[in-house]
Structure 1
C-alpha cells in the first residue's frame, strides 16, 4: 500500500473514533528541543516529574529502534463549567484546572491510541508501534509542534487554530514511513498576555517556564508550600489555567465532543471544609476518576487549607484547630498553623500557643512561631 494512501486511511479512521486532530512527523532527533532541555536543566527549571534521560526524551529511536514516523493526536476538552456551584461565605469551594475535568485524560487518549494502533496493524502487519501520553519520555508538545497540530505558544502550551490550547495530546512512534505534515507558523506575535498574567512569574519569558514557580506544579507537590506562593494560589486545588484563560486564541473556545470529559461540577469545584477531613476511601471514591487525584489527597488538603485562609473563612476554624492539634502529618499541621495565623480571632492565638507547647516537629514549630508573630495578633493584644 502506498504510504500516502495509508496516511489518508489513518486520518479517516482517526475521525471515526473521535480523534479531533491528527498530524504526522518524522522520527528524527529533536535537536533544538534537546538544547532547550539542557538549558532548562542548567537553570534548574525542571519540575522533577520528567521521565527518562534527555537523550531518550529527544531521540525517538532510543525508544523504538527503526522509528520512522511519530503520529500526534489531539482531543479537545471543555473550557466552561455548566451549572457551576457558587462559592459563598460558609460554603467556600476550590477548583480543579480544566485539564483535570472529567475522566483522567491519560485513559481516554490511551484508548484512542490503542484503537489507532490496532487499525494500523491491520494495514501493515509487521509494523511496530509505541504509544505514550504525557508520562512517556517524549515531549507531547515538541511532537505536536513538529506534526503541525499547533504552534508552541509563549505559555508553553500547544495552541491549535481550531481548539486553542484546550487540547490533550498523545503520540505514537511507528516503524512505518508516512509523509510528514508541515509545522504551523508561530502566531503569538507581539502578544505577551500570558507572561504578564502568570501569578508567580513562572513564565520567565515567552516559551520558557521555571517549573518550580509554576502553580500547576506547586499544587502537585507534597511538602510545605513555600511561603511566597501561598497567597498566590487562591482557591486552586490542582493546576492553574491563568495563562490559558488570558490567551486571545482561547477566546470563545469551548468544545464538548467527548462525553467522558464532561465535568461533574461538585467534583471539580468541591466544598473546601469537607476536604480537610475526607478519608482515603472517600477521596478515591469521589475524586479517583479525575487526573487531579494522582498525587493522593494530601496535596489537595494542603491546598484546601490555603484556600480557606485566602477566603478568611471563619467557619473553617474549628476544623483547622482540629488539624493543628491531631493530624499526624506535619505538612497538614504546619499549613493549618499558617492558615490560623491569617485570622484575627483571639481563639487563634490561644490555639497556636497550645500547639506550640505540645508540638515536636521543627518545621511545624517554625510555622507556629511565624503565625504567632502575625501583626494582627499584636493589634488584638494592644
Structure 2
C-alpha cells in the first residue's frame, strides 16, 4: 500500500470543495448515543428519525464500514450575507441559506476526493453525509473542528456555524497517516451568551444545546400532516428552513464582517440569488412536476409536493393581501380542491386574511380537519 500524507489528503479535499478538514479515531460515540436515546425517550425528536431511528447504528462507525479505524471530518461553508432584496411581485417566501446554492455538491465532491485518494493508496473508504448512518456533528466535534453551541449547531472557531458537515470513513490507522495533526478538543466558546434561545420564533431551544424538534420551524416544514396550528403565525414568510438562531449568533455575525469587502474572510459565491425567495402564488399554481423540478433538492415529505403547497398556504396567510384579487383566486382554488389537507390550510389562510366570505361553501365539508379549522380561533393578520 502506498504512503498516505495528510497534506495530500487535505489539499485534494480543499481543491474539490472542502474548507476545513480534520481526522480522528473511530471509536463508538457512546455519549452521543446516550443523548439520542434520552431525547427520543422524552419525545424531543417528535417524528424526526434522522440518527434517532437506530442510535446503536448511527453512533457506531463500524456498522457503516467494518474495520474502520479513522474518521476524516470535512466542512464546507455556505455562509452568505443577508438575503438579496426580493426581486418579484406578489407575496414572497424566504428560503434558508443552505439551499440558495448547491453547496452539498461541493461538500460531497470534497469528501469524495479524499475518499478516492485513500482508495488509490490501497485502503477501503466511503463517504457519509446528512444520512442516518452516522452522527456527523459528533464526528466533527471529536475531530476538533468546533464546539456545540447552545443552538445545538457545531460552531467552528473564528468561522461560526454556516457549514455543511460530512465524514470519510477508512480502515487506515490514524497513526499511519504521515503528518496528520494531533486531534484537539475545542473548548466551549459560547460562554454566557444565550442570544440564540430567545431568537427562536417558537422557543424550540428548550435548554442549552437541546432543541425540541416538535417546536422547530425547520422540522415542522418537513413533517407530514397538518402544519402545527400554534406555529403558523410564528412561521411568518418562511417556506423552507429557518436561520434565526444562527443569524443572531456572534461568531456568525463576525464571519459576515470578515467576508465583507476589506475583511479577512472569503465569502462563498451566492450561486443563484433568486433561490433566496420563492413566489408564494407560483407554488400554489405549479404542477407537481414543476414543483419537483424547481425544488426537488429540498427535503419534501414523501416527495409529495402537496406539502410545499401546505406550507405556502400558511405563508400566504401571514404575508398575503386579502383584498388582492389574485390572492383571493388562489385561495378559492385551494378551498375548492380535492385535497382536504390543502382545503384545511386554505381555511386558516382565508380567515387570517379576512376572506371569510370565501368559506360559505365549506359549511358542509365532510372532512373533520376542515371543520376543525372552521371552528378554531384565528387571529386576523395585524393583530398577532
Normalised by the shorter chain, which TM-score bucket? 0.7 to 0.9
1:161-176 to structure 2, matched below 5 A, reads: 161-176=157-172
With normalisation by structure 2, the TM-score equals: 0.87
1:120-159 to structure 2, matched below 5 A, reads: 120-123=118-121, 125=122, 127-159=123-155
* 1:218 alignment partner in structure 2: 220
Name the SS for the 1:216 alignment partner.
helix
Matched, 1:20 2:27: no
Partner Cα separation in structure 2 for residue 300 and residue 265 of structure 1 = 20
Name the SS for the 2:159 alignment partner.
coil
| Conservation of the 8 A alpha-carbon contact between 2:151 and 2:245 | yes
* 2:294 alignment partner in structure 1: 286
1:1-382 to structure 2, matched below 5 A, reads: 6-46=5-45, 47-51=47-51, 52-80=53-81, 83-85=84-86, 91-103=90-102, 105=104, 107-123=105-121, 125=122, 127-179=123-175, 181-254=183-256, 262-288=270-296, 290-291=297-298, 295-314=303-322, 315=324, 316-326=327-337, 328-344=338-354, 348-357=355-364, 359-370=365-376
Partner Cα separation in structure 1 for residue 246 and residue 203 of structure 2 = 15
Deviation at 1:369, TM superposition (A): 2.8
| Conservation of the 8 A alpha-carbon contact between 1:305 and 1:335 | yes
Question: Aligned in 2, Cα 1:374/1:84: closer, same or farther, shift over 3 Å?
Answer: closer
Q: Deviations over 1:181-216 (max 9, x none)?
A: 212111011111111211111111110111111111
Partner Cα separation in structure 2 for residue 165 and residue 251 of structure 1 = 10
- Give the stretch that moved more between structures: 317-326 or 74-83: 74-83
Question: Aligned in 2, Cα 1:146/1:28: closer, same or farther, shift over 3 Å?
Answer: same
Q: Deviations over 1:243-291 (max 9, x none)?
A: 00010010142466665xx342333301111211211222133223x43
Across the two proteins, how many residue pairs are aligned to each other? 360
Question: Aligned in 2, Cα 1:309/1:243: closer, same or farther, shift over 3 Å?
Answer: same
Partner Cα separation in structure 1 for residue 64 and residue 300 of structure 2 = 29
| Conservation of the 8 A alpha-carbon contact between 1:324 and 1:336 | yes
With normalisation by structure 1, the TM-score equals: 0.87
Name stretches of at least 5 consecutive residues in structure 1 with no aligned partner: 377-382
The Cα RMSD (Å) is 2.3
Deviation at 1:15, TM superposition (A): 2.5
Q: Which one has a larger percent helix, Structure 1 or Structure 2?
A: 1
Name the SS for the 1:285 alignment partner.
helix
Question: Aligned in 2, Cα 1:242/1:351: closer, same or farther, shift over 3 Å?
Answer: same
| Conservation of the 8 A alpha-carbon contact between 2:317 and 2:349 | yes
| Conservation of the 8 A alpha-carbon contact between 2:16 and 2:109 | no
Name the SS for the 2:235 alignment partner.
coil
Partner Cα separation in structure 1 for residue 174 and residue 16 of structure 2 = 20
